[in-house]
Structure 1
């Protein structure tokens, strides 16, 4: 601590002064004593040149970089290098904190010493808690202060006594005990988790979280993080040595490793490796990284190269399969090379290529090595009111398939397809008056012709390919499948249009998009065959209704039955950040031979100044049952909060056969002693219903 009043020059101003050479100097009326880092204001001040002391009296205000103090008297001894402030109120300047003290001693060596002092980080007019202590010490160049004989008060009620403890005095990460978490659930019983944080180094830290569960035993959760100039990562490991709820007291574990880094300016590396002991670990013990609806845990390792014209990626993609789900194919490895070059005269040359090897965990399923290359020449053009894209491509793929004795696949398959695309759009706008406001409306028609030649592909296995469904954006995608194992033959025209309403601040208030594909020829690729000459009509609506209401709708309507095949609707009323109600409905007529018809309500509203309520309710209309309820209240003050949450939801546990149960429910009650965003937690988290602009 450098106190320039002690070891530097000072400047004094006042209304009146009396100076006796080499003896003393007295100052009266609006006295100001200033140095480069310290300011003192008082009614009177006296400088004794013999004893080298300065005493300021009457409505004294002292301020330096660490503390601001109001008192009746301040004494400075330039011999002992000590500043003494009596009967004061103080405010810390670097961290939230204020209080009162009988005596404050400031020394360049020992720092700040408060005698018979109080401390709180709450606002002065809303002091929820405070500490009353016989001594508070803040030492220079130390990250933590020391409190002796502390009594903790909530409002004016004493709740705890500690003879000694320390507290942080800056914003540096520091080792210590974090807020605990207390829950009660039907699968784990009463659970108490206490995180302990260890700040190993500025770029390394470790968090231990012992967790006691009355029905299952003691679990240890750990999180190690590291950060270097070019790399960062995180390692999590959770271990329950003996699960008391299992007949064989089985050990259970979960691990997760994430890494992202730069090798140099162009090369990147990434990794994500997950694993667990059994299928029900996430459902019964919970997870911060996976939900109960997840069926696969990822295991990936990748290297990427980026430059202006060329990018290369090599990925190893593996999975941990949960429950009785078909084994997915692993890409071990998958190498992609993409190249882009300007040919001049507005033409571009693009080359996409891929080399991948696929295998699954089942020894009886085929494996495949796939090489794909797709050169493309395109002419892209765009200005403020129009867009044009013309391109032609050759799609060449070669397969080497093994372990195909009991299938209709061929050992080697070469497939070469031609593809041509012509896409164009226009943008018109006009001035309109809507609800008494002057606005701008746009009309943006767009059209696309797509042709893809045909080859029989029944002799190729399905390794990373599934059928896609078409929302409005998907109508212009030009491919009906993920992956490359099926490329549909196309001879089709896609028509669509978007209209927007924009205010004077260039903010979208309304957007409606409608489109449909018209098939000029029936598909010959069996997996892509259609029942009609038109696709489902796809529509999307976003609407800001006034300043408080928001609406978002997606829908696909069958051209054969004129019935809605898929839809989602969100209607939200938001009065402020903490006052909102949102109603959602999701409908899918046929998803893996099941009908999805669910409605939900999410709401949050303040109960009082410090209390907030959050609730969710989701109902399955197809099964006539509630699938989730979530109710939480949160108390928040200036510097701490506590949350109480009760919830009931589908447990989704896997039975011994590997089949996931859809009839068992989990109930729980949770207490969190920290600021948590309850609105975005739970099985179905809150999301804004749409995003304009």
Structure 2
């Protein structure tokens, strides 16, 4: 389970617990706080205390048997893992007591202490140091104490003390306390009469609090969140983390929005044995003040996955919300505003060496859609593989039995059984490959329509048998050449695929899980035009493609270009039919060739990269889809990107109108110096002549604290409101300011990072295929 830092009673304003996704600058060296001298090793440190040998070395010494021994000049005292260095020391043999002073250093496996004087009781394995400075090993935590006690359990008790994670001499923040107790076993510290100073200015006082000195989990408050926006108003969230047991934990977050009310969120996580885990989320807003007469708004989400044993696997995922605009209006911990599909899946699978079987149920809720997809209730799938069955031939067979049900009586229900045996002969070598494949696609449907069904023309039973032949070959050519005074290995990889699939009229079959697939370059070499099995398109076609690459002297790919197209020997007669309009064909293949698909990824020069793809209709001379990005990445967290994407004839699911998407974007992330950097995004809709998203974030980060101020302006997705149908006063755009603040070592999670800012918003940053590390 994930570790979490926290405060037991933190009431700090404007703070946020953030996961460390990326580092702003390399602070591993400049932030490292080292104790004065390294901890020495000892051969007997694992032995019981009474069996550990005591070693004392000094420049001079005087001793009386059974009484006291005095040591002077570079005195070192070692016992197991403990080590003391001082100018002078006195060993009271009768009372088993050691007193030392002068340039004193005490070390063990957990901490290092420098002090004015030390008094140690060897019998109880305890010590007391005055005027101490201490460092915790493996942590940036260090501080001072008027008195420091080391108990026989190796715990620390500090009086009139302070600590920080900032480098020595840096007082960006300092925590002072009358008493601190650090438990070396639990690896947590308890503070009494604590006072936090930022820049020598006291900012808050707490009579009691706890702090982490490692990554162990403990119950308490996480850092609060503060933000403000035009739709939600002022927002303050104060998460509380409950470490129930090693197998269970719970995070409860009261989230107040001045414009909407109190939003309650909870996340329960669990481990079920060594190989299974899951979580349960519940979110609730009792009355949305922004929406008149709003009923309760809620979310519940459960996910579970893992292995029962070496063969059995389980998976479950269920999410439901009260209304279509839940994710658009509220800051959920489960999904983003750009997600409009709620998947509900339950699956159990058994895996053996050459076969597997899976049983699943599935339901998908699409937010903002009037019609809902079919439910899979249930589906049983079987796969069997027999490689090199005979004379290099591979055999496999897959099958499935599926029951499709619909929540609405106006659609048919169906049972489908599909069996697909395959016989293939793969031939592979350095010069290329050739794979010949024969399939038999046998599908049976039993469809049940009632008097209210829209699709009355469906056949009650269907038996569809289709043969399929596929031959795919590729040849690998390569040569050594030079471009721009650099040596390269260039490859030329032509490939072809012949595909034949028989034809049957399939208009009597409903559409249960089938949709048209995209025609990108790699999609040209698929053996299907549709997902699912309700439509299997007839085919008599040849696909030709070509890929060329450049590899530098270190065998790193610096250039890749692919180009391909399908040539149809016969028109395909199978298309998609809308179940609500049986006589309307939405898509049909009746042209001599497919779109011309091309993809490019290249390192232009040094730190300049280009990534692009296009799908071009050569018959109609139309651009069907294109996107291109130009990146400049001269170093870690340094990025300048310009992008453009074009998608014509995109159907709006709410209005069923066709729209063209033509958008340009600029994205940048750049360090101003070692501590400051800026991230910005801007996307513009060329068709609507308006900005659709703007994001600007400034962040300062040092070794011991970080702060980020960001501004976000973005278009807001609004669905038909099933929560309050009469409420139409929804803003098209939303903008707001956000403040994140982390004190490292006080429940902060480290640097806020660049990558989380790049991923924040409607358009996530997608790193192109970078060809250079």
TM range (shorter): over 0.9
The answer to whether the 8 A contact 1:501-1:509 is kept is yes
State whether residues 323 and 721 of structure 2, in contact with CA within 8 Å, keep that contact through their aligned partners in structure 1. Answer: no
Q: CA deviation at 1:36?
A: 1.3
Task: Map 1:254-653 to 2 at 5 A.
Answer: 254-342=299-387, 343-403=389-449, 407-527=456-576, 529-592=588-651, 593-653=658-718
Q: What 5-or-longer segments of structure 2 have no aligned partner?
A: 1-44, 577-586, 652-657, 743-751
Query: What SS does the corresponding residue of 1:474 show, helix, strand or coil?
Result: helix
Paired residue for 1:205, among 231, 243, 249? 249
Rounded to whole Å, the distance in 1 between the matches of 2:662 and 2:728 is: 20
Cα distance, 1:590–1:516 mapped onto 2, change above 3 Å: same
- The CA deviation at 1:518 is 0.9
Does residue 195 of structure 2 align to residue 151 of structure 1?
yes
What are the superposed Cα offsets for residues 173-203 of structure 1, whole Å, 9 maximum, x if unpaired?
1111001111222222211111000000001
Paired residues of 2:324 and 2:720 also in contact (CA < 8 A): no
1:234 equivalent among 274, 279, 287: 279
C-alpha displacement at 1:461, in angstroms? 1.2
Aligned partner of 1:671 in structure 2 is 739
CA distance in 2, matches of 1:461, 1:628: 40
The one-character-per-residue Cα deviations of 1:331-365 (angstroms, maximum 9, x if unpaired) are 11122111111312110111121111222222111
Tell me if structure 2 keeps the 8 A contact 1:180–1:672: no
Q: Which structure 1 segments of 5+ residues have no match?
A: none
Q: Tell me by how many angstroms 1:622 deviates.
A: 1.4
Distance 1:103 1:575 in 2: 51
Specify the alignment match of 1:680 in structure 2.
759
8 Å contact kept, 1:180–1:673: no
For residues 601 and 88 of structure 1, the distance between their equivalents in structure 2, rounded to whole angstroms, comes to 54
Are the equivalent residues in 1 in contact too, given 2:303–2:316 (CA < 8 A)? yes
Structure 2-normalised TM-score? 0.85
| Among 221, 242, 245, the residue aligned to 1:177 | 221
Contact 1:324 1:660 in 2 (8 A): no
Q: Distance in 1 between matches of 2:154 and 2:429?
A: 69
CA–CA distance in structure 1, aligned partners of residues 363 and 197 of structure 2: 54
User: Residue 542 of structure 1 aligns to a residue in which SS?
Assistant: strand
1:475 is paired with a residue of what secondary structure?
A: helix
1:582/1:603 contact within 8 Å kept: yes
Cα distance in 2 for partners of 1:240, 1:591 equals 35
Structure 1 residues 4 and 122, CA gap change in structure 2 (3 angstroms): farther
- The change in CA–CA distance for 1:661 and 1:307 in structure 2 (over 3 A counts) is farther
Give secondary structure in 1 for the equivalent of 2:53. Answer: coil
Give 2:209's match in structure 1, choosing from 148, 165, 175: 165
Q: Distance in 2 between matches of 1:521 and 1:662?
A: 51
Residues of 2 paired with 1:281 and 1:398: CA distance?
A: 40
Deviation at 1:660, TM superposition (A): 11
How far the C-alpha of 1:489 sits from its partner, in A, is 0.9
Within the candidate set 54, 59, 78, 1:15 is matched to 59
**Alpha-carbon displacement from aligned partner over 1:552-590 (angstroms, at most 9, x marks no partner):** 111111111333211111111112222211112111122
Map 1:62-101; keep pairs closer than 5 Å: 62-78=106-122, 81-101=125-145
1:689 maps to which residue?
Answer: 768
Do the aligned partners of residues 582 and 661 (structure 1) sit closer, same or farther apart at CA in structure 2, a change above 3 Å counting? Answer: farther
Matches of 2:79 and 2:678, distance apart in 1: 51
What SS does the aligned partner of 2:699 have? strand
The CA deviation at 1:143 is 4.1
- Between 204-213 and 403-412, the greater mean CA deviation after superposition: 403-412
Distance in 2 (alpha carbons) for counterparts of 1:331 and 1:499: 43
1:80 Cα deviation (Å)?
5.9
Residues 690 and 139 of structure 1, relative CA distance in 2, 3 Å threshold = closer
The alpha-carbon distance between structure 1 residues 45 and 6, as it changes in their structure 2 partners (threshold 3 A), is farther
Over the aligned positions, Cα root-mean-square deviation in angstroms equals 2.4
Higher relative contact order (CA 8 A, sep 6+): 2
**CA distance change for structure 1 residues 500 and 633 in 2, over 3 Å: closer, same or farther?**
same
CA distance in 2, matches of 1:230, 1:82: 42
Q: 1:324 deviation in Å?
A: 3.4
Contact residue 303 and residue 315 of structure 1 kept, 8 A: yes
- Selected match of 2:172 from 128, 153, 163: 128
Check whether the contact 1:655–1:661 (CA below 8 A) recurs between aligned residues.
no
Counterpart Cα distance in 1 of 2:518 and 2:53:
77
Deviations 1:72-125 (A, max 9, x none): 322223356431222232101254310122222212158312222220122335
Q: 1:329 to 1:563 in 2, by over 3 A?
A: same
How far does residue 545 in structure 1 lie from its aligned partner after superposition?
2.7
SS in 2 for 1:678: helix
- How far apart, in 2, do the equivalents of 1:146 and 1:311 lie? 53
Report if aligned partners of 2:171, 2:200 keep a CA contact under 8 Å in 1.
no
* Equivalence for 2:655: none
Instruction: State the alpha-carbon separation in 1 of the partners of residues 51 and 211 from structure 2.
Output: 30
401 and 81 in structure 1: CA distance in 2 versus 1, 3 angstrom threshold: closer
Tell me how far apart the structure 2 counterparts of residues 611 and 362 of structure 1 sit (CA, whole Å): 56
CA deviation string 1:606-637 (max 9, x = no partner): 23433322111111111111111112222333
User: 2-side partners of 1:32 and 1:215: how far apart?
Assistant: 66
| Secondary structure of the corresponding residue to residue 507 of structure 2 | coil
CA shift in 2, pair 1:246/1:403, >3 Å: same
- Count of residues paired in the alignment: 693
Q: Which range is displaced more, 47-56 or 96-105? A: 47-56
List aligned pairs for 1:235-254, cutoff 5 A.
235-254=280-299
SS at match of 2:309: coil
CA distance in 1, matches of 2:522, 2:484: 30
Q: Helix, strand or coil for the counterpart of 1:673? A: strand
Q: Deviations over 1:649-681 (max 9, x none)?
A: 122122347899998112222223353622222
- Determine the structure 2 residue equivalent to 1:187: 231
Query: How far apart in 1 are the matches of 2:136 and 2:575?
Result: 74
Distance 1:464 1:663 in 2: 35
